[in-house]
Amino acid sequence: MTTAAVVTTIIMWLIFIGGLGFCFSRLGKGGGWED
């Protein structure tokens, strides 16, 4: 793979892992699951 393709791969996984990591860090900081 070219360097550009490798860099693209790394950046995208950082975005996804970072985004999901932030979302999971917020779990439980809102409402509950009981009516």
Name the residues that contact another protein, by CB under 8 A.
1-2, 4-5, 7-9, 12, 15-16, 19-20, 23-24, 26-35
Q: Which residue blocks in the chain are alpha helix, DSSP H?
A: 3-25
Q: Minimal distance in Å, beta carbon 33 to another protein?
A: 5
Q: Where are the beta strands (DSSP E) in the chain?
A: none
Nearest approach, Cβ of 27 to another protein (angstroms)? 7
Least distance between another protein and beta carbon 22 (Å): 8
Cα dist. 21→8, 14, 35 in Å?
20, 10, 27
